[in-house]
Amino acid sequence: MNMTDSHGLISVPQAVEHVADADVLVLDVRFKLEDPHYGAQAFNESHVPGAIYLDLDHDLSSPVVPGVTGRHPLPDPDVFEARLREIGLRRGDRVIVYDDGPGFYSARLWWLLTWLGHDQVSVMDGGLKAWREAGLPLTAERTVRPWPGDFTAQPDDNLLVSADELMAQVAERQDNPKYVILDARALERFRGEHEPIDPVAGHIPGASCLPCSGNLDAEGRFLPPQQLRARFPQPGPGQELVCYCGSGVTACHNILAAVVAGLPMPRLYAGSWSEWITEPARPIGVTEPGAD
């Protein structure tokens, strides 16, 4: 049975019907960049019954290599496969992922599982906020699934684009570039007016700003597909959308939004801005004051 009401999303009313199914794995990925211990602590206090916690820094990313990687490098597929087997993921399982609500961290795990070949994964639209607002139960009890699971990672690197590929396009300055590059960060960070996290401000030259927060309505749920579709530029013949952000996390939110909108799945520049700026030869785009 397909749990999703729109590819990649599942509503809270649908999720509550399936969280107790034997072939459903519920994953909690709450996180705060400013408080890395928050997610695990919040999970220990209360979570959706049956959920298992995965941490952005420790599970959904590889260790940072200063001066080489971005802030959240992709996990090694073999290491992540082992972790997913450890929590009991089986090849036939359906996965429901949630965070506090907006889906910024859920979309990262949705993308990772899609990249590794597990396509039965859905983000709970509205996350734990919507679950609570529906008056649904929470628990502090831990869940252990039968293990180990038998999930086998099969990475599809066609979903990725490298810094070198983007650099080649930037250097050529083509009128009709292959990649239509979209930056998921807030406009002030894209423009280089304010950079609270990374040591260098600006954006990849030629990119356009498409803040991931714009994918959501006032309740923190994804906009309807037709409204999401209107946010994205229409690629020309032979062009592909590429998404990036600060460290490759919220870019996945734009990728999920594109899929929900019925568009071809954009590629991810996983290293994103925090990797781009590790190489001084890579140019920096900065919007001039007063420019649109």
Rounded CA separation 111/122 (Å): 10
The candidate with the shortest Cα–Cα distance to 258, out of 153, 182, 149, 144, is: 182
Q: Strand pairing of 240-244 and 94-98? A: unpaired
Amino acid at 228: L
The first and second tokens of residue 85, run together, are: 């087997």
Alpha-carbon distance values, 24 to 15, 137, 177, 215, 252 (Å): 10, 17, 42, 27, 22
Exposure on the CB side of residue 285, measured as CA atoms within 13 A: 21
The candidate with the shortest Cα–Cα distance to 97, out of 256, 281, 259, 283, is: 256
Residues 6+ apart with CB under 8 A from 78: 153
**Known catalytic residue: 245?**
yes
Amino acid at 70: G
Rounded CA separation 82/148 (Å): 9
Q: Which of 209, 212, 243, 245 is catalytic?
A: 245
Amino acid at 43: F
For the annotated catalytic residues, the residue numbers are: 245
